[in-house]
Structure 1
Amino acid sequence: MVSTSIFPDIQKHIPVMGDMNLKSPIAYKATRAMASVVNATQMALAEAYIHGLEVPDSVFRAAIDTSLPVLFKHCPGLLAPYEWVLQETDRIAESSRELMQVQYDRPQAMLNQMLGDWKVIYPKYSTGFWENGATNLEESQMHMLDQVIERLGIEDGDNILDFGCGWGCVPNYILSKFPNVRFTGLNLSHEQCEYMRRKMQDPDSYLSSGRFTLHEGDLNEAHFDEKFDKILSIGVFCHVGNLTNAFQKLASFLKADGKVLIHIITVRMPNHMSSGFTHKYIFPHGRYWNHDAIPNHNCDLKTVQRWYMNGINYHKTLTDWLQRFDASQELVKSLDYGMDYAKFRRIWRFYLLLLGTIFATCDGEYNGNGQYLMVHA
């Protein structure tokens, strides 16, 4: 990780290196200009790939493996292509409706094939945990959820809110482990909610137990009449633009002695990170918060413990998703993606290859997942 404590007076005048918030006006503007050039170059390569440029996966990965360590270690300011990446935005969730359209409301049959859809582990769009000996994607997702249960301290009888509950994988798995736990899921994606509503009518699903309540809506407008023992959020905070307002909202839902566990992609660099390609095609206004961002927002909620999950876990997960995605083409090529399927396929191959390689860069020590246990401040 780049140190900003060595020669701080010199570093504030040097573009690109170190913490952008400490830069002099001239160094800041120079870094922003260079970041725009890097972003334009990445976008040109991405667009060429999307429109048919043939690049072997091995060459693609080698190019990223060669360039990204330099950016992670020495030039982190170049990984923030837009001004909004570096600071909080006005709303809790930015571009949330657009995000549902381009990402989470894609054809369910395709997502089932890519992410996996099993008896207890439903499609889950976040990393598995492979370090405990998982031999396949399903096991890695179980191991990840077992870790969440332990770190959040879930007990039988808890009333839990899942902020951004996806397809209900987390509630379903935890309900299977605890016969008296109650869950409320909050989700803006209509297609994901429809998937869960079908499961709520399926006697083989734990979502049909009467202990699961679904709210289709946005955290910006969410209100609940009851308070919760535990709140968990897996992956969603990459789409949250304002940590201060989000923590205030979550704190209002939490009992006085309650606990919150937030699991997100983080970067162990001085600044936050994003990508012009993912912003345009995959996660509008998505960003990867600096690993210290959540502990630095000790207002309404405070961090009492945190963990870093090495990026190799997400590398293995994304690699598995890519293999499953490629293997399913004959089954899913006729579905409605709102665009020519060949273009859609190349967009998503670029996305899975790009992120899968980034997480493995520098042995997963710069870009991975952060988990934060929080209580009332």
Structure 2
Amino acid sequence: MTLTTSFTNIQKYMPVIGDMSIKTPIAYRSTRLMASLVNATQMTLGEAYVQGLEIPDSLFRAIFKTSMTLFFQYCPGLLAPYDWVLEESDKLAESSRELMRVQYDLPQAMLNQMLGDWSVIYPKYSTGFWQGGATTLEEAQMHMIDQVIDRLGITDGDNILDFGCGWGCVPNYILSKFPNVRFTGLNLSHQQCEYMRQKMEDPTSYLSSGRFTLYEGDLNEAQFTEKFDKILSIGVFCHVGNLTGAFQKLASFLKHDGKVLIHIITVKTPNNMSSGFTHKYIFPHGRYWNYDAVPSCNRDLKTIDRWYMNGINYHKTLTAWLERFDAAQDQVKTLDYAMDYGKFRRIWRFYLLMLGTIFATCDGEYNGNGQYLLTHT
């Protein structure tokens, strides 16, 4: 018996360690119970912080860095607080309308301040790429999109679909680089679509070039009369519950020789992970797929290449967002958040601090971003 086989056999019977999908019923139930206790502890801390508990940022980071190091390296089964995190669901997108309400339809002025809003780089709610030498958030976001252009193999004249196009940052930047590229943006957030519609009327924006088309709706309902040379999706698949169904839908939009690039938050642990706090306050039904999840779904689209982007990049991005968020309090505290602003501010500080620390844990080797290049099977 090899060492690998022996460890696999041990995993079946031992709670907490290893792959949840191969455990015996007793080991599985034991791990789920312990995961619920870990989640309850995190939620207790989170709710106390939201209600006004004063914790210095340095102590906050130390608590999460210490605990997450243990979870990543030794107890990954405790990072999935709910059973639904571990498997595909029946729906392509879960809690999508609720997600728009609590996350993407927030006051635009606040999001502009936190994420940045420049002449070509519009607000972009995904990681920047800092390892290429960027020194500012704007540069890091440019470098990240340049990386997407290179890996997807975008050429002038391509007809591209952006599934979940945010505020149009990626299409705007790519349109600025390629004078004959055409873009279609698909987005469910009404607030983000309103931002893009304003840009489509602004002659200084590349979204007004006539080469950008916007569809407000979700993937479940989307239908297009033409097929696309390239499809890209940045960040959206953390909110997609069924990879197999989503890939079938995207494949129906893609030319026979077309390519898809998916960029998601990912974890190098045996199973997917999530957070009770972010599920309640930030990303309803959000999950981080494990690094092998996308390649394992190859019925309609197959992965032909993939890359892991170290979590230090997201750590630096979240740190920049937190600094900008803190610096903008006087400008954004009077906006309408459908709750007391003091509570909103503490929810978001907890979220930004927590995720920023988690991505930096273990030097970013466990929690980062995955990029996957796919074609028709």
Deviations 1:78-135 (A, max 9, x none): 0000000000001100000000000000000000000000000000000000011101
* Deviation at residue 5 of structure 1 after TM alignment: 4.9
Matches within 5 A, 1:210-359: 210-359=210-359
TM-score with structure 2 setting the length: 0.99
1:22 maps to 2:28: no
TM-score with structure 1 setting the length: 0.99
Q: Which runs of 5+ in 2 are unaligned?
A: none
Give the AA of the match of 2:173: Y
Map of 1:103 onto structure 2:
103
Report sequence identity in percent: 80
Give the AA of the match of 1:60: F
Give the AA of the match of 2:294: I
Matches within 5 A, 1:189-228: 189-228=189-228
Contact persistence 1:11–1:17 (CA under 8 A): yes
Map of 1:364 onto structure 2:
364
- Classify 1:39/1:228 alpha carbon distance in 2 versus 1 (closer, same or farther; 3 Å): same
1:144 maps to 2:144: yes
1:124 maps to 2:124: yes
Map of 1:91 onto structure 2:
91
Aligned mates of 2:6, 2:112 — CA distance in 1: 49
- Classify 1:5/1:143 alpha carbon distance in 2 versus 1 (closer, same or farther; 3 Å): farther
Matches within 5 A, 1:26-175: 26-175=26-175
Deviations 1:268-318 (A, max 9, x none): 000000000000000000000000000011110000000000000000000
* Deviation at residue 6 of structure 1 after TM alignment: 4.4
Aligned mates of 2:160, 2:58 — CA distance in 1: 44
Aligned mates of 1:296, 1:10 — CA distance in 2: 24
* Deviation at residue 41 of structure 1 after TM alignment: 0.5
Aligned mates of 2:4, 2:150 — CA distance in 1: 35
Aligned mates of 1:16, 1:313 — CA distance in 2: 29
SS at match of 2:213: strand
Q: How many residues were matched structurally?
A: 375
Give the AA of the match of 2:99: L
Q: Which runs of 5+ in 1 are unaligned?
A: none
Deviations 1:17-47 (A, max 9, x none): 0000000000000000000000001000000
Aligned mates of 2:220, 2:4 — CA distance in 1: 35
Give the AA of the match of 1:75: C
Contact persistence 1:185–1:215 (CA under 8 A): yes
Contact persistence 1:4–1:19 (CA under 8 A): no
* Deviation at residue 250 of structure 1 after TM alignment: 0.1
Give the AA of the match of 1:207: L
SS at match of 1:12: helix
* Deviation at residue 265 of structure 1 after TM alignment: 0.2
SS at match of 2:293: coil
SS at match of 1:160: strand
* Deviation at residue 220 of structure 1 after TM alignment: 0.9
Which runs of at least 4 in structure 1 moved beyond 6 Å after TM superposition? none
Give the AA of the match of 1:36: S
Aligned mates of 2:5, 2:255 — CA distance in 1: 39
Contact persistence 1:115–1:125 (CA under 8 A): yes
* Deviation at residue 166 of structure 1 after TM alignment: 0.1
SS at match of 1:147: helix
Aligned mates of 1:4, 1:161 — CA distance in 2: 43
> What's the Cα RMSD here?
0.8
Aligned mates of 1:368, 1:256 — CA distance in 2: 31
* Deviation at residue 264 of structure 1 after TM alignment: 0.2
Please say which of residues 6-15 and 22-31 is displaced more in the overlay. 6-15
Give the AA of the match of 1:321: W
Aligned mates of 1:56, 1:88 — CA distance in 2: 38
